[in-house]
Amino acid sequence: MGLIAVTGATIVCTCGMSPGTLNATSATNVLTGGKPTATIKDCAAGANITPMGLCNSMANPAVASATAAAMGVLTPQPCTPVTVGTWTPVAPQITVCSTPCLMQGSTLQCAYAGTISITNTGQVTVRN
């Protein structure tokens, strides 16, 4: 079992070119490691999901338009996540207020064909 994701967790998209950050807002009164705990409800683009650099998905209208203008040469454009549904948790039995928590490996779909996942939970472990 991995660590629970918190505000500041690192996220990546299969169509993005840089990592982004997760901002947990659904359970701010529940802290894990001193930070707000992330749940499957933390899926809103902008509020919870930050842009991930440039997007290279042709399903993104900005990328398709720029690529057409460049005579078919793929031309990545700034990422503007458009999330679909809620996160898919890896351990749905671990909950906060009856809502599944996020962990490394949890995924979220973007309408522009990308899959967003958590690569670093934002927690650090200290061993004695």
Q: What is the DSSP letter of 10?
A: E
d(CA 79, CA 113): 12
Per-domain boundaries in the chain: 10-120
Q: What is the pLDDT of residue 2?
A: 82
C-alpha dihedral (23, 24, 26, 27), degrees to nearest 10: -150
Say what the pLDDT of residue 98 is: 93
**pLDDT tens for each residue of 45-87:** 999 999 999 999 999 999 999 999 999 999 999 999 999 999 9
Give yes or no for residue 128 having a pLDDT over 70.
Answer: no
